[in-house]
A = this chain, B = another copy of it.
Amino acid sequence: MSGNVDRSYEGELKSLDTMIAQMGGLAEQALGQAIDALYHRDPDLAEVTLANDRSIDTLERLVDELAISIIARRAPVASDLRQIVTAIRIALDLERIGDLSKNIAKRAIAIAAEPRPKQVMTGFVHIGEAALRQLKDVLDAYSQRDADAALAVWQRDQEIDAMYNSLYSELLTTMMDEPQSASVYAHLLFGAKNIERIGDHATNIAETIYFLIHGKALGDERPKADSTSSLTLGRLMPAKA
């Protein structure tokens, strides 16, 4: 692959991948814990998620520093350079996923004592598990350097966006029926949005993997199906309109 291979150089590239794998594992754990904490109203579990976020941030800094120093010291050839830049991008997406999971955990703590309709929370777990699956799959695609698996993740993001759209409408309509609990539903709205954004970051990683393997972009426009930011009152609740 590289024009200027030597043992420690290969070792440096490998350790980038090792750190990415560690970050990925921590991000999966954080997301899973945040969803569980929200669903089971478990503030203690949520506190664990908050505590673990620091290690993801630290790893991202380490990936950045090593990557930049490799580029500066080794003047890598194109294919190696692509590998290094890929590591920087993926680390950044994983760090974001950690932050978003942390935010979900905070909201889980805030509303742990509040009652919530079972149906809404089921929709929550539903989209949460879908996002977690996307994250697992895209991390496997990276470790396997499997462009087709990455493409599959990229395409499945539409399903998460669709789940988010329906959960969003469900949360709003429930909120209208229980205005006194508006702050609980506001937390859930933001929590749902965080999960949808985690799905977007998994999709970013899929695009990065595709670029790493094929040397060209997967296409600027992903199939985008989160339309809530342009939802109007009428379109939101035809039943009530």
Question: Which of A109, A190, A230 counts the most chain B CB atoms within 10 A?
Answer: A230
Q: How many copies of this chain does one complex carry? A: 2
Chain B residue at minimal CB-CB distance from A71:
B71
Given A107-B230, A110-B229, 11 other A-B contacts at CB below 8 A?
Answer: A72-B75, A75-B75, A92-B92, A111-B232, A114-B233, A176-B180, A176-B182, A180-B240, A181-B233, A182-B182, A190-B190
B-contacting residues of A (Cβ < 8 Å)? 68, 71-73, 75-76, 81, 85, 92, 103, 106-107, 109-111, 113-114, 168, 172, 175-177, 179-184, 186-187, 189-190, 193, 229-233, 236-237, 240
- State A111–B184 Cα separation when bound (angstroms): 23
- State A240–B111 Cα separation when bound (angstroms): 17
Residues of chain B within 8 A of A177, CB atoms compared: 179
CB atoms of B179 and A183 under 8 A apart: no
Can you pick out 26 interface pairs between chain A and chain B where the beta carbons lie within 8 Å of each other?
A68-B85, A72-B75, A75-B75, A92-B92, A107-B230, A109-B230, A110-B230, A111-B232, A114-B233, A168-B186, A172-B182, A172-B183, A175-B179, A175-B182, A175-B186, A176-B180, A180-B240, A181-B233, A183-B231, A183-B232, A183-B233, A186-B189, A189-B189, A189-B190, A190-B190, A190-B229
Residues of chain B within 8 A of A72, CB atoms compared: 71, 75-76, 81
Chain B residue at minimal CB-CB distance from A180:
B176
Residues of chain B within 8 A of A181, CB atoms compared: 233
Least CB distance, A96 to chain B, in whole angstroms: 10
Top 10 A-B residue pairs of the complex, sorted by shortest distance between their CB atoms:
A179-B179, A106-B229, A176-B179, A71-B71, A183-B236, A110-B230, A175-B182, A176-B182, A106-B230, A183-B233
- State A193–B107 Cα separation when bound (angstroms): 14
Residues of chain B within 8 A of A103, CB atoms compared: 229
Residues of chain B within 8 A of A232, CB atoms compared: 110-111, 113, 183
Least CB distance, A220 to chain B, in whole angstroms: 8
Residues of chain B within 8 A of A109, CB atoms compared: 230
Residues of chain B within 8 A of A183, CB atoms compared: 172, 231-233, 236-237
